[in-house]
Structure 1
Amino acid sequence: MATIAPSPPAALIDGFGRRISYLRLSVTDRCDLRCRYCMGEAMTFLPRSAVLTLEEMAAIADAFVARGVRRIRLTGGEPLVRRGIGELAARIGRHLATGALDELTLTTNATRLAEHAPALAAAGVRRINVSLDSLDPERFRAITRTGDLGQVLAGIAAARAVGMAVKINMVALKGVNEDEVGAMLRWCVAEGHDLTFIETMPLGVVDEDRTDRYLPLDGVRRDLIERFGLVADAHRTGGPARYLRVPGTATRVGFITPLTENFCDGCNRVRLTASGRLYMCLGHDDRVDLRAAWREGGRDALDAAIDEALALKPRAHGFRIEERDAAPAVARHMSATGG
């Protein structure tokens, strides 16, 4: 008698018909910097016992790949402070060789990138995002509270040396680094990097009022078009950025605008925290505990929990930043959810 093969797991389709093909996997909520717009100076991080093991992260990633996720980004916190990050990348990177996964990427502050770049490249990471908000060493230290710009630049150089493409992510901050926007773009052109500007997001309580630092990117975009002659570019990476290009160069300039221009209609991503909570949206608190599902019921329970999460995914976030001293949109910090 012929055996009937089991049906493949259902594709990830949310309640609004959007296909989920992108998983952002936070491997830790810890970070070795304390960027002022992202964290308070005194942070409380998860105890080790509350964090998924690397084996659990890999198993959950396997389940998402089986259900149609084509891109996975390793995030944090700062992912390179997690011991064993190279082994996790290699485990997930196996799906690149089979064709089940299109891309494995990483977002990092690059302070430890020089050490890890060779292992990441060997795992199949071909491009990375580096968070870098200033090229001035003193200003960089002021923004990050503890950062050494030289370490970051050395990490970027190491990544390029092993063949990785680098995209710079710069959070545009009014009265802090807005005067460096043009200089950052010129540097990226000279170094061959893409560049994305990001509006500050109202996530978690920090030590400053974000309304003082909010810089709408529509004005930044108009200014750069005038100064650099930027032209339209259809390039997409699977994330929310919309791109222009510097004529005569390979450098693209992206804009992530959660406040001035909502981009939720095409959302294709979900975020898994280091503690195993799956968030469907940065701007909402709805989540599902995949760690509990996996530990209590294995793959079947995990798939059921993922289905539950899809039903909770909202149409759009609720970010607002107009009111001074207003509470953040959600209480958790970006480092807890994963960038």
Structure 2
Amino acid sequence: MFESSASVQPAPMIDPFGRTIDYLRVSVTDRCDFRCVYCMAENMTFLPKRDLLSLEELDRLCSAFVARGVRRLRMTGGEPLVRKDVMMLFRSLSRHLESGALDELTVTTNGSQLGRHAADLAAAGVKRINVSLDTLDADRFRAITRWGDLGDVMRGIDAAQAAGLHVKINAVALKGVNEDEIETLIRWAHGRGMDISFIEVMPLGDIEPSRLDQYLPLSMVRARLMDRFTLEESDHRTAGPARYVSVRETGGRIGFITPMTHNFCESCNRVRITCTGTLYMCLGQEDAADLRAPLRASEANDALFAAIDSAISRKPRGHDFVIDRRSKRPSVSRHMSMTGG
């Protein structure tokens, strides 16, 4: 449906540390139908809709990155599937899968809208998705998400698997909240043929309660799991930061995403774009580049490519996340829903 304008296509993107940038995460909206306690405040103020890039602009921006060597696109939010007509964007971007320019088009979702969209995602060439799910207890789920319904998510996962999508579960490890349920989550996910990744809570945006109260080191989680399971190192990799182990007893895999206890930045191949066209070269840094202005300044992509080049040349070696009682402010002021997962 959407076509990006013709322009000279520069060389692939290499950052100052020799890392090839071939993975783009795109937040299509900052809005979400949940209010997860580790992600955002309950009474969030979202961006006016007029500030968001149109679907056509998002398509052109993604296509410019594909022209620069991005091989994987992940649509995120907020909750990406709450954006009106978002499936038009997926269907349009699927042309890059068909041409071979793109290896993978994926999505991270809370699962609430999957019942409606799973079949359409599969038809657009999406092969795998990540579903964020921190508990299998309905009351606890409502407490964590504030607004969510576990039944909707479970029906969404059913629909996704019925459509042939490979589902991976992402769970944030929360001290005193779901740490007693981690083994249950693993057995449930593996019993349905799904890998599961655990994520350390990250200090992005002001929220209540304190992230210090929420933070559960995955080194501790892994040590506990070794008392219950036989964990074997796995060479399985996706484009993301998870490091995997195989579980002999279940036959499934567990991923550990450890921005706090182990900085995984040495192999970072990712950049992120917000729904307003702001490019963040690192999730854990404030430095950013405005791509909306060059996108709208010309139908040609020359100025846009120049802005991308300038931004990639500033990509930092890594992030500087800290959670401690001396640091009352978050490491990064924006909420996760602004940047995307």
TM-score interval (norm. to shorter): over 0.9
Instruction: Output the amino acid matched with 2:46.
Output: F
| Structure 1 counterpart of 2:314 | 312
Residue 223 of structure 1 deviates from its aligned partner by: 1.7
| Structure 2 counterpart of 1:3 | none
Residue 191 of structure 1 deviates from its aligned partner by: 1.0
TM-score scaled to structure 1, two decimals?
0.96
CA distance in structure 1 between the partners assigned to 2:212 and 2:326 by the alignment: 6
Residue 235 of structure 1 deviates from its aligned partner by: 0.6
Residue 22 of structure 1 deviates from its aligned partner by: 0.2
| Structure 2 counterpart of 1:17 | 18
Contact between 2:187 and 2:250, CA under 8 Å: does it hold in 1? no
CA distance in structure 2 between the partners assigned to 1:122 and 1:248 by the alignment: 35
Residue 250 of structure 1 deviates from its aligned partner by: 4.5
Contact between 1:209 and 1:325, CA under 8 Å: does it hold in 2? no
Instruction: Output the amino acid matched with 2:109.
Output: T
| Structure 1 counterpart of 2:119 | 118
Residue 251 of structure 1 deviates from its aligned partner by: 1.7
The CA RMSD measured in Å over matched residues stands at 1.2
Q: Does 1:257 align with 2:246?
A: no
> Which segments of 5 or more consecutive residues in structure 1 lack a partner in the other structure?
1-5
User: Secondary structure of 1:25's partner?
Assistant: strand
| Structure 2 counterpart of 1:196 | 197
CA distance in structure 1 between the partners assigned to 2:252 and 2:86 by the alignment: 29
CA distance in structure 2 between the partners assigned to 1:324 and 1:145 by the alignment: 28
Residue 69 of structure 1 deviates from its aligned partner by: 0.4
CA distance in structure 1 between the partners assigned to 2:246 and 2:314 by the alignment: 36
Instruction: Output the amino acid matched with 2:308.
Output: I
**Matches of residues 50-89 of structure 1 in structure 2 within 5 Å?**
50-89=51-90
User: Secondary structure of 1:168's partner?
Assistant: strand
User: Secondary structure of 1:288's partner?
Assistant: strand
CA distance in structure 1 between the partners assigned to 2:324 and 2:241 by the alignment: 22
TM-score scaled to structure 2, two decimals?
0.96
CA distance in structure 2 between the partners assigned to 1:260 and 1:250 by the alignment: 26
Instruction: Output the amino acid matched with 2:290.
Output: D
Q: Does 1:169 align with 2:150?
A: no
Contact between 1:34 and 1:144, CA under 8 Å: does it hold in 2? yes
Residue 119 of structure 1 deviates from its aligned partner by: 0.8
User: Secondary structure of 2:24's partner?
Assistant: strand
Contact between 1:141 and 1:148, CA under 8 Å: does it hold in 2? yes
CA distance in structure 2 between the partners assigned to 1:47 and 1:243 by the alignment: 39
Describe the superposition over 1:138-178 as per-residue Cα deviations: whole angstroms up to 9, x where unpaired. 00000000110000000000000010010000000001100
CA distance in structure 2 between the partners assigned to 1:250 and 1:334 by the alignment: 32
Contact between 2:230 and 2:249, CA under 8 Å: does it hold in 1? no
**Matches of residues 32-43 of structure 1 in structure 2 within 5 Å?**
32-43=33-44
| Structure 1 counterpart of 2:224 | 223
Instruction: Output the amino acid matched with 1:276.
Output: G
Instruction: Output the amino acid matched with 1:332.
Output: R
User: Secondary structure of 1:169's partner?
Assistant: strand
CA distance in structure 2 between the partners assigned to 1:30 and 1:257 by the alignment: 26
| Structure 1 counterpart of 2:4 | none
Contact between 1:133 and 1:169, CA under 8 Å: does it hold in 2? yes
| Structure 1 counterpart of 2:3 | none
Instruction: Name the stretch that deviates more: 249-258 or 301-310.
Output: 249-258
Contact between 1:26 and 1:74, CA under 8 Å: does it hold in 2? yes
Instruction: Give the total of aligned pairs.
Output: 334
Describe the superposition over 1:10-59 as per-residue Cα deviations: whole angstroms up to 9, x where unpaired. 11111111100000010000000000010001101110110000000001
Q: Does 1:128 align with 2:111?
A: no
User: Secondary structure of 2:284's partner?
Assistant: coil
Instruction: Output the amino acid matched with 1:72.
Output: L
Contact between 2:134 and 2:171, CA under 8 Å: does it hold in 1? yes
User: Secondary structure of 2:75's partner?
Assistant: strand
| Structure 2 counterpart of 1:268 | 269
| Structure 2 counterpart of 1:207 | 208
Contact between 2:191 and 2:250, CA under 8 Å: does it hold in 1? no
Closer/same/farther in 2, CA of residues 249 and 181 from structure 1, 3 Å limit: closer
| Structure 1 counterpart of 2:330 | 328
